[in-house]
Amino acid sequence: MLTAAAVAVAIAVVAAACWLVVRDSLYQQARNDLAEAPRPLPGRELVLGPCADNAQDALAALPPNTDSLHRNMWDIQVVTADNRVCFTPGSTRVIDTVPSDLKAGSPNRATYREGRYTDGKPALIRVIPASVGGKPAVMLTATSLSNVHESLNNLALLMTGVAGLGVIGAGVAGRVVARSALKPVDQLTDAVEHIARTEEVGSTIPVNGSDEIARLSASFNSMSTALANSRERQTRLIADAGHELRTPLTSLRTNVDLLIRSDAQGRALPPETRARMLGNMKAQMQELTVLIGDLLQLSRPDTPNPEAVRTVVPFHETVERALERGRLRGPALTFLTEVNPWYVHGDPAALERAVINLLDNAVKYSPPSGTVEVRLRAGRLTVRDHGPGIPADELPFVFDRFWRSPSSRQLPGSGLGLSIVAQTVRDTGGQVSLGPASDGGPGTQAVMVLPGQPDDPR
């Protein structure tokens, strides 16, 4: 409809302009022809036929079969000051006069106007002052505009027909083109309605071409695939979290049941056994606390939260505090450290948690009496242990939530530590990686790079 309306407006404007140009051209041609008609000459009397007080009587008094060069081309009549009407030979029709004709100006200057014959036919009239018998008069010369009006009417009908056909053709063509062009939009609408109705994300539509509709379709496919992947990760996260929570809860329930049963049966457990069970319960509670804290940390959105606490953090002090805790967890280990000043913008608690997680991994996988190397240079923190290392085929998964290497599943942990590190570093605008030691020796090296500066910006 919009296409048809636009075409209709365009055709109407072009047709109107064309009609006006043709009209002006035809009227100018009629005026040029009328300018060639005889006119009164200075100092010479007009050659006139019979004159009468009534124009019809004067026309009837003309001799019949008058042969003249201007016959059937112009009709010339003269109106004197005393309202007598005279015709020149060859005139055949009476021209309607108006009061302004008798007020014509200079004899050398003609005026033109549209008028009519007494039979109602349209005419273009030239008005020139003249003299008859020494008395002032006015000479009216007319040429018929019937052919001009007929041509303009025919042209208007022709353009109306062409415009109508153009609008209908444009409407049909616009509908065909629109339906063809918007077919992918219909498919996209169907896919969106299907997802809204069934909540089955992952549906895609075919992409053809490279225009805006194709880009929209490709964007929808990307969004649908991302939603499906997000749903899958969410489902896997819930399943993994349930699995990790089930183990300490089962152990806690077993120990509590044993304690309750022993008290109910009146058979007290040996003090050593009871102390061991209470110690296990405390360890399981601590494991649950750590796991729930990790889950809360990972419940934050993947994109940085603008409302999060972000301030200038002396990162070197954060590393020093994390090293103190690391030494407590691995008292038999040797820590080789080099920490230079570095200030970053971020969440202080989250950054300290990330560094502690890296150190915990290094302490956990270091051999007894091993060495852990920690260096902070120009915003590049490296933590290297001398443990068994990580197989190359497992490196792409180390930052996934709940992922744990098959060789280390007997060790304590939930598989969330490195995920927290990756999310914290991403929120701070940095990068983190985990891989083999740079010197080719045994162990694993974690590298965290954070944007910042060596001087306090405050």
* DSSP single-letter state for residue 117: B
- Residue-level pLDDT at 69: 46
The pLDDT score that the predictor gives to residue 171 is 83
pLDDT in tens, 344-376: 999 888 898 889 889 988 888 888 888 999 999
- pLDDT tens column, 316-335: 999 999 898 888 878 889 99
Of residues 221 and 305, more confidence is placed in: 221
Average model confidence (pLDDT) for the chain? 81
CATH of 39-144, one of 3.30.70, 3.30.450, 1.20.140, 3.30.460: 3.30.450
Are 284 and 256 in contact by the 8 Å Cβ rule? The answer is no
Which two structure tokens, joined as six digits, stand for 342? 């570095």
- Average of pLDDT values for 279-301? 71
110-155 confidence digits (pLDDT tens): 888 899 988 889 999 998 888 777 778 888 889 889 889 999 999 9
Beta strand pairing status for 431-436 and 444-449?
antiparallel
Nearest to 94 by CA among 124, 122, 119, 127: 119
Pick the CATH number of 212-298 from 1.10.287.130, 3.30.70.3280, 1.20.1250.20, 2.40.50.100: 1.10.287.130
Question: Considering all CA atoms of the chain, what is the largest pairwise distance in Å, rounded to the nearest integer?
Answer: 159
- Asked if the model's pLDDT at residue 302 lies above 90, the reply is no
Which amino acid is present at 104? A
Give me the amino acid identity at 163. Answer: A
Q: 10 or 243: which carries more pLDDT confidence?
A: 10
Structural domain boundaries in the chain? 1-35+146-181, 39-144, 212-298, 311-449
Query: Is pLDDT of 298 > 70?
Result: no
126 versus 3: which is more confidently predicted?
126
The whole-number pLDDT of residue 4 equals 77
Read off the tokens for 451: 């944007």
Domain 311-449: CATH class, spelled out: alpha beta
